[in-house]
Structure formats: C-alpha cells, structure tokens
Amino acid sequence: MSELVYTLIEFCSVAKVDEQRVTEFVEHGILEPQLRQDQWIFPSEALSRCQRAERMRQDLQLDLHGVALALELTERNQKLRQRIDYLEQLIDRLRH
C-alpha cells in the first residue's frame, strides 16, 4: 500500500484531474514524478498533493505560481506546527 506508484494515466484517473492539468502541475514543480523508461511515475503521496493543488486552484482562484507557493507554505507551516507540538511536549516531560 505504501509503495504504490502510478503512471500518468492511472494517476489522473485516481486523482480525478485531467492530464493537461497534471502536466501543468509538473511544469510548475507542484508534482515531481520520477522518470522511468521515458514515462512519468507518481508516488502515491503525490495524490493528495495533486488534489489539494486542484482544490486551491479552483476555490481560491489561484494561478499555478500561487498554488505552488501556497502549497509550499502550508506544508512548511504544518511541519513547523508539528515540531512545536513535539518540543512543547518534550519540555513538559522534562519539567515534570
């Protein structure tokens, strides 16, 4: 389940995003597939990223530069939040 990878066609069908859009996402560095025998291969983690990107594009009326930036910032934000949670818990354990 964790090692699942998709070809472009499979990926589009599962993500419910058309090929042209996925290609644009790749061109903007929003998705970074691997190249295998001249074919794009997408890891399963790329699915939710692709769907999030498409939702942001539609709902917030962002262009793809905006989507790329928003994704990067929200992901960085989430990482920082997790790190803060971790450090706060750790401080708590060290004090009591």
Partner 1 sequence: MDFKDYYKILDLPPSATQEEVKRTYKKLARKYHPDVSEEADATAKFQAVSEAYEVLKNKDKRAEYDELREYVNNPNQFQNAGAGHGRFNSDASAESGLDDLLRSIFGDQGGFSGGAQGFNGQRGGTFNVRGQDIRYDLGITLEEAYAGGKRSLRLTTPGGDKTINVTIPKGVTQGKELRLKGQGELGHGEGPAGDIYLKISFLKHPLFEVDENDITLVLPVSPWEAALGESVEVQTLGGKVNLKIPADSQNGKRLRLKGRGLGSGDQFVILKLVNPPIETDADKAAFEALKDKFNFKPLDGMARPV
What lies within 8 Å, CB to CB, of 29 at 6+ separation is 68
Does residue 65 bind partner 1 (CB under 8 A)?
no
Does residue 56 bind partner 1 (CB under 8 A)?
yes
Number of residues that bind partner 1 (CB under 8 A): 29
The minimum distance between CB 38 and partner 1, in angstroms, equals 27
Does residue 37 bind partner 1 (CB under 8 A)?
no
Contact window for partner 1 (CB under 8 A) among 19-27, 28-36, 41-49: 41-49
Q: Where are the alpha helices (DSSP H) in the chain?
A: 8-15, 19-27, 45-59, 64-95
- Write the CA distances from 73 to 22, 68, 77, 79, integer angstroms: 20, 9, 6, 10
CB distance 8 to 40 below 8 Å: yes
Does residue 59 bind partner 1 (CB under 8 A)?
yes
Name the site residues for partner 1 (rule: CB under 8 A).
1-2, 4, 14, 16, 44-45, 47-48, 51-52, 55-56, 58-61, 70, 74, 77-78, 81-83, 86, 89-90, 93-94
